[in-house]
Amino acid sequence: MLKVENATMRFGGLIAVNNASLDVREGSITGLIGPNGAGKTTLFAIIAGFLKPTEGAISLYGKDITTEQPHRRAISGIARTFQIVQPFAGLNVHENITVGAYLRHAKPSDAVEKARDVARQVGLEKDLEKSAASLTVAGRKRLELARALATEPKILLLDEVLAGLNPSEIRDIIPVIRTIRNSGVTILMIEHVMQAVMNLCEHVYVLAQGKMIAEGTPTVVCNDQAVIEAYLGKGSAERIARQSAENTGGPNA
């Protein structure tokens, strides 16, 4: 459905994304993980059209969209959330969601009704008249998700939608994300909360220092030595393996 081919993004002498490729299968939840500063959000900006890659190509359903503007990609079915949530503070929850619904519904009454349906989908139906500025962190995360969903995307890019939530809030929102996928929306998600990655994602890509260093199922990726080294530092994989062997009485125990 979505293909990123050899994407590179340079900012002067800094290479934020370095020859990175990924494929997202329609109907899937695909994860993009990696340590802080790996280039994940930059790659999202390339996919959504906010940045034009220095090299490489982006295609959706086989159509090259590398040079398309963000609004054209939104019309094609790409929507994204942002890591730093910034709702329209002067509007209430319903109005915030309605802004997104106007992409597909020019008639105000239709946009308002669509926004109400989306609010129900993400668990904000009781907060429609609340000021967006008054929401908790968890409420703002749901609102960010709702604004993107209101554009009726085919693929939804979630940039750390669980960041800042406590364990209970994370448990509550995981089924919401799964329901969105089950409704027909493909999801590509950046996430540091491994509980969510393990529970939600069928396939995971790992980005470190701008490069894709691993891909596979969550279980395979989490046990990959290169991934462990990227997160925990040089020598970590060997130390973990050694400690595991010692705790189990040796490799032949």
pLDDT at 122 over 50: yes
- Chain-centre distance for alpha carbon 51: 17
Encoded amino acid at 122, one letter:
V
Residue with the two structure tokens 């393990």:
198
pLDDT of residue 94: 98
Give the phi and the psi of residue 29 in degrees, each rounded to 5: -115, 110
Percent of the chain with pLDDT over 90: 80
pLDDT at 242 over 80: no
Nearest to 20 by CA among 70, 146, 28, 34: 34
- 252 burial class (0-12, 13-18, 19+ CB within 10 angstroms)? exposed
* pTM of structure: 0.89
pLDDT at 70 over 50: yes
DSSP state of 202: S
pLDDT of residue 253: 44
Q: Which two tokens stand for residue 234?
A: 């040089």
At 159, is the secondary structure helix, strand, or coil?
Answer: strand
Encoded amino acid at 134, one letter:
S
Domain locations in the chain as residue ranges: 1-75+188-222, 224-253
Q: Which two tokens stand for residue 146?
A: 């709702």
Give the mean model confidence (pLDDT) for residues 222-236: 80
- CA separation for the pair 146, 143 (Å, rounded): 5
Does domain 1-75+188-222 fall under CATH 3.40.50.300? My reply is: yes
Residue 231 confidence class, pLDDT cut points 50, 70, 90 = confident
Nearest to 5 by CA among 45, 59, 46: 59
Q: Which two tokens stand for residue 70?
A: 């963000």
